[in-house]
Structure 1
Amino acid sequence: MARVGYLQLLRKRPVLVLWSSAALSVLGDRLYGLAVMWVVYESTQSAKWMGVAAVVESIPYILIGTFGRDLVARFSTYRALGWLDAGRAVAACVLPVLWSPGGGGLAVLLALVFVLGTLGALFGPNLGALVPDLVEPGKVRQVIGLLDLTTRIAAIAGPGAVGLILLAVSEVQLFALDGATFAVSAVAMWWLHVHVRRTARVAAATSPADTPPPVDAPAAAAWPVLRRHPDVTLGIGLHGVGFFVAAVSAVGLPALLAVQLGQGAAGYGLALAAVGAGALVGNLLVGNLRLGHWLTVYCGAWAVAGLTLFGYGIAPSMPVVLAVGFIAGLATPAAAVTLRTRLSEFGGPERLRLITVDQTVIRTAGTVGMLTFPMAVDAAPATAFAGAGVLLLGAAVAAAVVGRRWAAVPELAAEPVGGRAS
């Protein structure tokens, strides 16, 4: 059913253009992530510098999300997003030219990582805020699920594609390929800008009395919106907890498999494949299905994720690990699509600000997690997984209980959203 819905959406040319460029960009992100970490490790032989590179990329997301409300709002058109991606294309393509082994090359790499992080911090929230307006209200969940699908496909196909590409090019040259994907995305953004303007002109010509003149909406403040909609506050907070504990899987799964089950790289690859397969199935389910009140579904998905982290910690065999990974994958798109669909219900400026806040929270939480969980994993992998799972499960249950109690109190219940419905 979800597959049919996705195919119907892809018959719309704007959605097809957006999805195609997003799919290519996600593959480019896989190339970029691999290139950064491998080049940093090759030049320093230090895992600590790999962590530094990850933190350097996250810093712009945290700073811009916290202090750059007006700056983010200046890029709230497809044309502006095209220029951001053009800048990312130049930054990525110039890196292989400027790269050299040693401290100088590493400094250049970290500087360009910071630049790319800055442009990405401006691009991501604005694209997320614009996408729901491409389709009618009843299709918003589907189009969000369709874009989420690109991530799920890349998780399965990406490693193999990167392996094949590396047979022909060096790791540093992966940056240039990533730059090419940004260039394609820039063209797609400019095409969407022309399409949206043309559609607006046609609408104004056919029903001028019903079409209000365009206005530049001021950037919205987050706190008043979050106070009026405590369910969203809970959702974003739980998202942060989820990304904080996700660090234990990112850095700890290889160690857990090696210490607990004697597995090597092949076992790690199978575990990742199981997660990817589960996420693909989960996306196809959540893209179209309405499963109940959004916060209940959302908290349930994170509760399942917490249980799977605990399950990793006590898994007695590799088949159990694969089953746990598949279930963990199922929960991932359920959480991602559900929250983004809820945020899409807000009007443009509020939607943009809430997406920016969410991005800032998860980047900050993920960075803190990457700085703290490796030590716990080194000390006791199974205990780290079990503890992370209990923390996430407890946060999900608490958010669900508090959300239900708030919904029962009229003055605390979420107000109706003034934007579009999903």
Structure 2
Amino acid sequence: MEYLRLLRKPTVLGLWLARGLSVIGERLYGVAVMWSVYASTGSASLMGLVAVLESAPYVVLGTLGRRLVARFSSCRALAWLDAARAAVTAALPFLWSPDTRGTCVLFAVVLLLGILGALFAPNLEALVPGLAEEGRVHQVTGLFDLTARIALITGRASAGLLLLVVSRIELFVCDGAAFAVSAVALGLLARNGGAPAARPTAARPSPRARPLLRSHPRVGLAIGVYGLLPLCSAATTVGMPVLLATRYGAGAGVYGLLTAAVGVGALIGNPLAGHWRPTGWFAVCCGAWAVDGVATACMGLVGRVSTLGLLSALTGLVAPLAAVSLRARLGRFPPAERVRLMAVEHTATHLGSMAGIMLLPLVIRVSPRGSFLTAGATVAVLAAGAHALSTRFLRTAPAPGAAEGDGTAVAGY
């Protein structure tokens, strides 16, 4: 398999290990924080505030911090960021207490870790395309997408198992250990040469997002639609337990099976996405997002749990297809532009997450089924509209190899 051949390269293996451990650390930290907030306050609203505080730095730094973000576009800088995340999470048990002061400290730590994550994520993802030669960018992008999805599943499952044998505070220590090992892996990678990166200089400053997106309108449209995809995720995450309880009389066991169906679909879809190089990346992205939206909307209409399982697997199946196609497209830009576009993509997705967290619970209170219809229809209509807009108004755009700013002439990119 192509993924195994890529992992034989020490540089790919090192960054792959760092990526997986960082995502696991983020999941462990997320579960520990949510449980700590709920245990000390009993407030679901404050749990939502945690999610907003975690996402806000991505929005602020992605919008206003282009020069700051670009300063961390190397393995050495990323190693320091993960070392800082390890220190902060490991220190939290000594700072936290189950009272108002401890909750305020917890919120401050969430904000700080959100800032570190907003500096880390787009830069690490921008390093990935430089790990392979031009013709294998799609495959290496698929490998790291698969890594992130496996780490997400593993991190959540590990957090649940660890909470059976350790306290929430001890879980923070495990979280810090994951970040620390990732920092060591990145440090060793930096010592051995690392992945190529581009820091802003006087001759080549960090590019501004607006002119960049104007020069590449399809990329801007794709990031815009991708930014609202978390609406579907919010519906299936927050709305599904309510839907199962009110419509089917089902509980946590069925919800776990549906979540597993999404994961199985993603694990099947990722190898297909990583090895398939479509000639029209934008059409593939829009098509996958439209299918995801329609499947999510149908979850509010069907009358059988088995059908919900099939629809859940379908959403998991198409998600890697769009994500890998978009990330591979961004990976073909020069490094400085790539970092900026990765940061813009994170800004869009975290804005979408914040919108889902704040708006969908209001819809769920009125109609659990309506939340699926609202989220799914929004994404499906926007995906179809973006494709129609691109087809109608962008026909005269120059050839991709010349206009897309990536220095390549690969068909469809």
What is the alpha-carbon root mean square deviation over aligned residues? Answer: 2.0
CA apart distance, 1:155 = 4.4
Give the match for residue 239 of structure 2.
252
Give the match for residue 23 of structure 2.
26
* Partner Cα distance (1:134, 1:116) in 2: 27
* Partner Cα distance (1:186, 1:88) in 2: 9
CA apart distance, 1:216 = 7.1
CA contact (8 A) 1:61 1:117 kept: yes
Helix, strand or coil: the match of 1:405? helix
* Partner Cα distance (1:111, 1:198) in 2: 33
Consecutive unaligned residues of structure 2, counting only runs of 5 or more, are none
CA contact (8 A) 1:347 1:420 kept: no
Matched, 1:114 2:111: yes
Give the match for residue 173 of structure 1.
170
* Partner Cα distance (1:370, 1:306) in 2: 18
Matched, 1:341 2:328: yes
Helix, strand or coil: the match of 1:314? coil
Going from structure 1 to structure 2, the CA distance change for 1:45 and 1:198 (only over 3 Å counts) comes to: closer
Letter in 2 for 1:322: G
1:334-377 Cα offsets, whole Å, 9 max, x none, are 12111111111110111111111111111112102211110101
Matched, 1:330 2:330: no
Normalised TM-score (structure 2): 0.94
* Partner Cα distance (1:385, 1:349) in 2: 38
Matched, 1:236 2:223: yes
Give the match for residue 417 of structure 1.
405
Matches within 5 A, 1:4-403: 4-196=1-193, 217-403=204-390
* Partner Cα distance (1:345, 1:13) in 2: 22
Letter in 1 for 2:319: T
4+ runs deviating over 3 angstroms: 154-160, 197-200, 214-217, 410-414, 418-422
* Partner Cα distance (2:114, 2:195) in 1: 32
CA apart distance, 1:245 = 4.1
* Partner Cα distance (1:421, 1:119) in 2: 36
CA contact (8 A) 1:156 1:277 kept: no
* Partner Cα distance (1:379, 1:98) in 2: 40
Going from structure 1 to structure 2, the CA distance change for 1:44 and 1:93 (only over 3 Å counts) comes to: same
* Partner Cα distance (2:143, 2:245) in 1: 36
Give the match for residue 209 of structure 1.
none
CA apart distance, 1:192 = 1.8
Going from structure 1 to structure 2, the CA distance change for 1:216 and 1:110 (only over 3 Å counts) comes to: farther
Helix, strand or coil: the match of 1:290? coil
CA contact (8 A) 1:43 1:102 kept: yes
Going from structure 1 to structure 2, the CA distance change for 1:215 and 1:70 (only over 3 Å counts) comes to: closer
Going from structure 1 to structure 2, the CA distance change for 1:320 and 1:418 (only over 3 Å counts) comes to: closer
Give the match for residue 210 of structure 1.
none
* Partner Cα distance (2:133, 2:394) in 1: 28
Count of residue correspondences = 406
Helix, strand or coil: the match of 2:336? helix
* Partner Cα distance (2:369, 2:332) in 1: 40
Letter in 1 for 2:16: W
CA apart distance, 1:199 = 9.2
Consecutive unaligned residues of structure 1, counting only runs of 5 or more, are 201-213
1:117-152 Cα offsets, whole Å, 9 max, x none, are 001100111111112111111111111111111232
